[in-house]
Structure 1
Amino acid sequence: MFVSKITISVVFLAIFCMVFGTDIEVTNITNVECEPTSNDALCYVAEPIVVMPNQSISFALSASQANNILEFSVSYNAKMQIIPRGIFETFHYLEQLKLQGVHLKTLHHSDFENAWNLHNLTLSDNKLERIPSSIFSRAVNLMELYLDGNEILHLENDAFNGLHQLYFLSLNRNRLITLKSFSFSGATHLTDLRLEYNEIDVLEPGVFDLPDLMFLYLGHNQLKAIPDDCFKNMQLIGLDLQSNPITHVGNSIYELKSLRTLILSNTDQITDFSITRMYEVNPLVNVQKKS
């Protein structure tokens, strides 16, 4: 597939509007072409594209070329306050979308209307503050979701509603404080959940009612107590609680008979955890507890 260097006709107008205000009508971004690569299935936009609210984007590709594209990403120099319309409308078979470090501020339900084939979504290192309910529900085939390094304060109930194929979710390096009961309820087959380097100090009952969850990372938060039934009926293989000011771990941790790795490093304030009891109920577990 022939691809040539990107040409964007309205970048300078968009920059002007960002600096001097939006009284001037913002023109849609047209004639975007993909950077030449050895991968015909990848459309990589290397130039510093700027997308304003309500803008759409179009590409200088034939229908057959667009249908070959499975991956789309932009450079770190891009500035996209929103996910522009035109990506999924052009690339009907898109499987991977990477918009990392592009200053995204908000997500809208219309962003993923045509994301029916999307498998991998990376929105890391942006400025997102909230994940609305059912925001990804149209992306029914999504398997991996990366939301690391944003400013997310809370997850609305059913934020991941409809994501029955999702098995990997990363929310590391955000500002989460409370995990509500139904935050992850829509991700029925989630197996790997990463919540490290937040400010989490509350786990509401049932928040980890995820029957397929195998790996749970809660390290480097502000947890002081683990609810007694927090891990009830779970089949965890790996559990990371390191670097939390925990004093109470509860009894359900001893019910994790499938557990193989338990990380409790830098949790010297725990008063009710017994390694002896843990080995009695689960002799195969590896407990890591270093100061």
Structure 2
Amino acid sequence: MKLFPLLLLLPVALVHSCPDGCTCLYGENIFCTQRRASSMPRNVPESTQNLYLFQNGITSLRTDDFSTLAGLVLLDLSQNRISELPGQVFEPLASLCNLDLSANQITEISKGTFAGLHMLERLYLHGNRIQNIHTAAFDGLDRLLELKLQENQITVLPALRMPSLLLLDISFNKIPSPRPENLELDNLESLKMSGLGLSYLDENLMKNLGNLHDLDLSKNQLKAVPAALKQCRGLITLNLAGNPQVAQLKKEDFQNLENLQELNLSNLNLQGIPEGLLQLFPRLQTLSVAENPFNCVCPLAWFPLWVRSSQVELARIEETRCHFPPLNAGKVLKRLEHKDFGCPTTTTTTTTTVKTSRPEPPVVTTLPTTTLPTPSPSQSSMDNAGSTPPPDTPELSSKPDPKVRFCPPNICLNGGTCQLDHKGHVECTCPPSTRGTYCESKEDTTLGISTPALTTEPAIRSRKATSTSILVDLHRYIQARPQLRGIRLTYRNLSGPDRRPMQLSVPASYPEYTLRGLRPNCTYHICASPLGEPETEDSFCTEAQTSSQQLHHSPITQSQHGQLTTMVVPLVSVVLVVVVAVAGGIYYVRRKRAKGHPDLGADPCPLELEGVKACLENGTLPQKVPDVSQSPNGLEYEVPLMQGHGPANNNVAALKPSYF
């Protein structure tokens, strides 16, 4: 009983040890968001693990600012006014894993800027004014997983030799086409080179990137599809959007890309797409060809039927329209029928009639009435006026042996299957949603989606998996919870000896999240639950398996980099001894929160992917608002610390999925 008064005084002692203008959570997480000072706060406790100093107005750092913070794991100095980084300023931070210096005014990175940061895994320098980077600036960062340098003024990219790097973003700089010796990154998974003004790529650029899964070449000046892509055999996502000089696609340009799942060809100068090109990608899931000046004539007549019959999602349907001829100008490409493309027709002499239960089938202007093509061109020109012409296809215009009975290509529409009965008559087996002699009539459905399908769809699901990563779709989980502040994402490996759960804190603004650094050919159990609530309440789980494919190099695994949970900020880290005191504290906090947020539709505070920038009670932590005034391209910076630069597919431009 003598310990009871001391335990009640514990929170008071923690508050008194906080620096002026800061808020401390359990003594290890410090948010300095209310202060406005040009220098670092004084008297930061030595036990601090996560220190958030974004939007403080800091203009300079001193060499002794971090001398007592050897245990610091995460440091957020983003959106300040820092213009210079003294040499060895971060050297005392031997345990630092995450460093965010984005949206400052830094102009140069010297040789000793990051000296001593041997444990660093994420370094964010985007949105500064960096012009020069010393060739040895990143030496010693062997554990680095992510390096973001986008939206700077870099003209020369130093040679990068980082064995563990998974993500590199150099978009929107003044860097010329990188050379192979600049990117000696054996395990790199994601490379972003958007907005560099590239007109070509070195054919050998990808020779050292055997583990590359995600490549963004959007918003450049490429004149053709780069030949370097032929070396990217493991590529899953390819973004070529916004290269207006690319006017033609060739099948040979996309050789060896059979693993491709997402392809963005928007805003090019395409008038058509070669028939058979998309068959090169048997695993394709999402395709975007919006904002192209399509010439909707006969050579493109195959595309709408392919879109409707395949399982591939066509993104930005309303923005995928015809440009020519005037009859089709402005029409949505997917909604056109074969007859709308004005294909020339050929006629046939009736030799065998199609088997049907009706004595006089209705005339369908786009369908043939015979099972055999015209034996010779001369007979075709003398066809009776009452016969119905078939579609003009390369297969039907050829001259086959008239004695051979076969199913004419494309005679069965809407995914129907052609077959011959015992007399050689053509019959079409139609899918459930179609009917008619040639499956020409479709049932009246609304985009093929019914309400029961939406209600039974799982709250979370995995959409894409590689040998080292799994993408988790959280759209439905977030949409069903408008008051959600954040998501606790828990995952564990069911296939390995170590099944301990690993946790990450994901902002409610993230509809997608990619778990990286996983083991190949393993099954992972993934659960999502509201941040700050017991994990057993409102929790949804799914299972996903990484692929067994390993391309040239061993993937980065959890054992190579330690547990990823060392980067996760524990929101509750104090051992509670007295149950009564804890219950009273929780009740008090919830009452205060309810009073501070009466509007159920209030915007949630931003959270960090590693549990950073958690909302303080009563809204004391302001949102980290992006500072667009410093952006040379007028682009929005990442708001939370571990956020991605933007979606590779611009179908949902407002959503910014995470890289890892």
Q: CA deviation at 1:193?
A: 1.1
Is the contact made by 1:97 and 1:118 (CA closer than 8 Å) also made in structure 2?
yes
Which of residues 263, 266, 287 in structure 1 aligns to 2:288?
Answer: 263
Q: What corresponds to 2:40 in structure 1?
A: 6
User: Which residues of 2 match residues 62-81 of structure 1 at below 5 A?
Assistant: 62=92, 66-81=93-108
Residue 111 of structure 1 aligns to a residue whose secondary structure is coil
Is the Cα contact below 8 Å between 1:105 and 1:129 reproduced in 2?
A: yes
1:175 to 194, 197, 204: 197
CA distance in 1, matches of 2:142, 2:307: 46
- Between the aligned partners of 1:266 and 1:216, the Cα distance in structure 2 is 17
Q: Deviations over 1:146-165 (max 9, x none)?
A: 2222233422235322x122
- Tell me, yes or no, if structure 1 residue 219 matches structure 2 residue 241: yes
SS of the aligned residue for 1:154 comes to: coil
Residue among 251, 256, 267 paired with 1:233: 256
CA drift of 1:42 comes to 1.6
Residue 169 of structure 2 is aligned with which of 146, 155, 173?
A: 146
Say which of 216, 225, 235 aligns to 1:203.
Answer: 225
Alignment of 1:1-291 (within 5 A): 5-6=39-40, 30-31=62-63, 33=65, 40-45=72-77, 48-51=81-84, 57-59=87-89, 62=92, 66-81=93-108, 83-131=109-157, 135-137=159-161, 139-161=162-184, 163-222=185-244, 223-234=246-257, 235-247=259-271, 249-250=273-274, 252-269=277-294, 273=300, 274-275=302-303, 278=306, 283-288=310-315, 289=317, 290-291=320-321
Aligned counterpart, 2:445: none
What is the percentage of aligned positions where both structures have the same residue? Answer: 18
Tell me the amino acid that sits aligned with residue 282 of structure 2: K
Question: Corresponding residue for 1:18?
Answer: none
Residue 256 to residue 61, structure 1, CA distance change in 2 (3 Å)? closer
**Unpaired runs of at least 5, structure 1:** 8-28
SS in 2 for 1:203: coil
Work out the CA distance in 2 between the residues paired with 1:241 and 1:32: 51
SS at match of 2:311: coil
Aligned-residue offset at 1:181: 1.5
Cα distance between partner residues in 2 of 1:158 and 1:183: 8
Distance (whole Å) between structure 2 residues aligned to residue 230 and residue 56 of structure 1: 47
| TM-score for both structures, normalised by structure 2 | 0.35
Amino acid at match of 1:93: M
| Aligned-partner SS, 1:230 | helix
What is the alpha-carbon distance in structure 1 between the residues aligned to residue 203 and residue 272 of structure 2? 20
User: Aligned in 2, Cα 1:268/1:32: closer, same or farther, shift over 3 Å?
Assistant: farther
Q: 2-side partners of 1:118 and 1:198: how far apart?
A: 28
SS, match of residue 180 in structure 2: coil
| Cα displacement string for residues 250-286 of structure 1 (whole angstroms, at most 9, x for unaligned residues) | 5543211111111111223367553268569x83222
Q: Is the 8 A contact 1:48 1:75 kept in 2?
A: no
Structure with the larger RCO, 1 or 2 (CA within 8 Å, 6+ apart): 1
**Aligned partners of 2:243, 2:140: CA distance in 1, in Å?**
36
1:83-123: CA deviation from partner (whole Å, max 9, x where unpaired): 22334322111111111122112344312221211001011
- 1:111-147 alpha-carbon deviations (Å, 9 max, x no partner): 2221211001011110123546xx112x110011122
Residue aligned with 1:287, SS: strand
What letter matches 1:269 in structure 2? F
With over 3 angstroms needed to count, the CA separation of the structure-2 counterparts of 1:247 and 1:182, relative to structure 1, is farther
Change in Cα spacing, 1:201 to 1:89, as seen in structure 2 (3 Å) is same
Q: CA deviation at 1:61?
A: 6.5
Task: Give the Cα–Cα distance (whole angstroms) in 2 for the partners of residues 33 and 279 of structure 1.
Answer: 59
Cα distance in 2 between the residues matched to 1:60 and 1:255: 50
Go from structure 1 to structure 2 and tell me whether the alpha carbon gap of 1:104 and 1:257 turns closer, same or farther (over 3 Å shift). same
Aligned-pair distance for 1:72? 1.5
- Paired with 2:219 and 2:228, the residues of 1 have a C-alpha distance of 22
Q: Larger radius of gyration, structure 1 or 2?
A: 2
User: Offset of 1:77 from its aligned partner?
Assistant: 3.0
For 1:129, the aligned partner's letter is: T
Verify the 8 A CA contact 1:224 1:244 in the aligned structure 2.
yes
| TM-score, with length taken from structure 1 | 0.75
If each structure's helix is expressed as a fraction of its own residues, which one has the higher value? Answer: 2
2-side partners of 1:278 and 1:152: how far apart?
Answer: 40
Does the C-alpha gap of structure 1 residues 130 and 86 become closer, same or farther in structure 2, counting only changes over 3 Å? closer
Residues 100 and 60 of structure 1: CA distance in aligned 2, closer, same or farther (over 3 Å): closer
C-alpha spacing 1:207/1:42, structure 2 compared with 1 (3 Å): same
Find the aligned partners of 2:282 and 2:81 in 1 and give their Cα distance: 51
Change (3 A) 1:180 1:6: same
Paired with 2:64 and 2:230, the residues of 1 have a C-alpha distance of 43
Q: Classify 1:231/1:111 alpha carbon distance in 2 versus 1 (closer, same or farther; 3 Å).
A: same
- Shift of the 79–219 alpha-carbon distance from structure 1 to 2, 3 Å rule, reads same
**Shift in Å at residue 194 of structure 1?**
1.4
User: Which residue number corresponds to residue 539 of structure 2?
Assistant: none
| 1:74 CA drift (Å) | 1.9
Q: Name the CA distance, whole Å, in 1 between partners of 2:132 and 2:73.
A: 28
Distance of aligned partners of 1:2 and 1:238 in 2 relative to their CA distance in 1, 3 Å threshold: closer
SS at match of 1:207: helix
Does the CA contact (< 8 Å) of 1:196 and 1:221 recur in 2? Answer: yes
Counterpart residue type for residue 59 of structure 1: V
Looking at structure 2, the residues matched to 169 and 131 of structure 1 have their Cα atoms a distance apart, in angstroms, of: 14
Gaps of 5+ in 2: 1-27, 33-38, 42-60, 322-660
